[in-house]
């Protein structure tokens, strides 16, 4: 039976690497796949990992009908034995419905990879819909670590090494960025709630509004 599988985790836990590995393994067995991605760090129409691996992909733009794209591809004589959707958190809920339709009506396995929550700890709409529809949900086994050494469970957005908690839900950035640019860092829940990034910890500076309250 074909299935819709959702592989989730924080940033820096190997989601895109696993997507590339799944594609490689199936290609080595003579299978052909379609790869969708959205706002990849390597640019439009690319699926890349932080290990330096990259492959071509179809950019799943806003409003694009993924089901119709696959049907058109097959109708033109193209081949697709499975579908990979990376950065699935950026897809609209209706596009997740289209991925489920690919499974149910075309009989193809769909492997979706994405972050569950944003920098405000709120569910991405695409990830929420995947949680609601997926036949299987897998947490990535490669654990990203907070600067303190604890398991990282939250994604933080930073500007100038300071954590921010307001702004648009989707702003493209990376864990590797230049000074002053929008970036992201993975933190444990405690340090995310206290807004203590690695830079703040190195500087030994804690804002009064994130220090524990001492009873008077």
- Catalytic residue numbers? 87
How large is the C-alpha radius of gyration of the chain?
19
CA distances to 63, 120, 199 from 161, rounded to whole Å, are 34, 16, 6
**Backbone φ and ψ of 119, nearest 5°:** -70, -10
Distance CA 33, CA 23 (A): 7
SS3 for 127?
helix
Determine contact, residues 126/37, Cβ cutoff 8 Å: no
Residues 19, 84: contact at Cβ < 8 Å?
yes
Task: Report how far residue 142's alpha carbon sits from residue 61's, in angstroms, rounded to the nearest whole number.
Answer: 29
Three-state DSSP class for residue 95: helix
Beta strands (DSSP E) in 72-168 are: 82-85, 109-114, 136-139, 154-159, 162-164
Go through 39-55 and write b for each residue having 16 or more CB atoms within 10 A of its CB, e for each that does not.
bbbbeeebbbbeeeebb
């Amino acid at each position: 039976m074909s299935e819709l599988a959702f592989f989730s985790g924080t940033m820096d836990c190997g989601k895109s690497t696993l997507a590339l590995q799944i594609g490689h393994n199936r290609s080595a067995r003579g299978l052909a796949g379609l790869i969708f991605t959205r706002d990849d760090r390597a640019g439009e129409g690319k699926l890349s990992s932080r290990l330096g691996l990259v492959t071509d992909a179809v950019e799943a733009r806003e409003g694009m009908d993924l089901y119709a794209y696959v049907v058109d591809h097959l109708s033109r004589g193209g081949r697709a034995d499975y579908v990979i959707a990376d950065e699935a958190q950026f897809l609209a809920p209706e596009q997740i419905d289209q991925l489920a339709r690919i499974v149910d009506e075309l009989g193809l396995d769909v492997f979706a990879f994405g972050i569950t929550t944003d920098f405000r700890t709120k569910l991405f709409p695409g990830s929420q819909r995947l949680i609601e529809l997926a036949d299987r949900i897998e947490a990535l086994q490669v654990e990203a670590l907070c600067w303190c050494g604890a398991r990282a469970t939250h994604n933080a957005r930073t500007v100038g090494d300071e954590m921010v908690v307001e702004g648009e839900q989707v702003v493209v950035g990376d864990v590797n960025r230049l000074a002053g640019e929008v970036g992201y860092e993975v933190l444990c829940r405690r340090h995310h709630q206290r807004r203590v990034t690695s830079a703040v910890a190195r500087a030994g500076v804690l804002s009064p509004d994130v220090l524990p309250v001492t009873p008077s």
